[in-house]
Amino acid sequence: MAEPKTLLVTGGAGFIGSCFVSQCIARGQKVIVLDKLTYAGHRANLAHVANGPCELIVGDICDGPLVAQLLQEHAVDALVHFAAESHVDNSIESPGEFITTNILGTYALLEAARQYAPTRSDFRFLQVSTDEVYGTLEDDGFFTEDRAKQPNSPYSASKAAGDHLARAWFHTYGLPVITTNCSNNYGPRQYPEKLIPLMIRHALAGKPLPVYGEGKNIRDWIHVEDHCHGVYLALTKGQLGETYLFGGRSERRNLQVVEAICDMLSELRPGPDYCSLITFVTDRAGHDWRYAIDDSKAEAELGFRRTYQQFEDGLRATIAWYLDNDAWCQEVTEEKEA
């Protein structure tokens, strides 16, 4: 498609969504952010683009009439759907919220877009998803776009359902849909419940660093800037109805990641023996063993390239950001505790 002038970004006040919004603003595009501002969505995530062409609408993606109004009112060229309940542990404890947001919310967006799309000849709907929908890998092999979905948690099942809906709306109604799936994201402004920011903050506070099981589970890590760049390439260069995967080609065992954080903190903020704080806890129920992505399709068809070729370089920059932005951490955590 041509470069979109106006985008509706759901979940744009979240970690990944706000990074995508920043990239759009840098390109001079207008962005309408629709975000419910639940525990992981914050106005603070958009503070650095406050002077740009960005408007935050506090609302629910399940509100179909609101979505329809925003599409029409702003003559939106593309709807990029980041909004999701995304923490696996939370999905195990409270799966209902994941069903509502990730399935019913996606349905509401698709329906609003289906009514709107005929009015815009070059409209696109991009469904942003996760590699967790593909289940788990053994010690070898990679996820590819043609792998069957085999989700193992309430979170991944709800995301897989959203992906299936998006596919069905393309094949049944001709809605111009593209889907992306990515590996574990890391970088600035990630809510402190996630592994990397959680370990940074716990270590600095002298708290235990909880690691599931023996810490041997393997994840592939992609910097959020690289992921969002890939999403935009898929939106503007991808084929309708297709799926594109984005990974970091940076597989690490969870324990390796935590130990790397401790070692880097020792250099950047010398203090106690951070590694001594590592504590092994009962493994997560249904814990997938390994995730790894082959994103050669995105490289070949979209020209996707990673800026952060080495995970450790991106990790060091991420730790430095958290050390320099403790006020942000305090604001987003206190905001949700209030």
Give the residue numbers annotated as catalytic, written as ranges: 131-132, 155
Rounded to whole angstroms, what are the CA distances from 296 to 42, 143, 151, 248, 299?
34, 11, 23, 11, 5
d(CA 198, CA 41) in angstroms, rounded, equals 17
Phi-psi region of 265 (alpha: psi -120 to 50; beta: other; left: phi over 0): alpha
d(CA 307, CA 136) in angstroms, rounded, equals 27
Alpha carbon dihedral 265, 268, 273, 275, in 10-degree steps, equals 20
DSSP, collapsed to helix, strand or coil, labels residue 50 as coil
Token representation of residue 23: 């990239």
Contacts of 326 (CB under 8 A, 6+ apart): none
| Helix, strand, coil shares, percent, the chain, to 5 | 50, 20, 35
Q: Are the beta carbons of 9 and 32 closer than 8 angstroms?
A: yes
Q: Are the beta carbons of 9 and 17 closer than 8 angstroms?
A: yes
Token representation of residue 184: 């574990």
CA 178 to chain centroid, in Å, comes to 16
Q: Are the beta carbons of 125 and 170 closer than 8 angstroms?
A: no
DSSP, collapsed to helix, strand or coil, labels residue 239 as coil
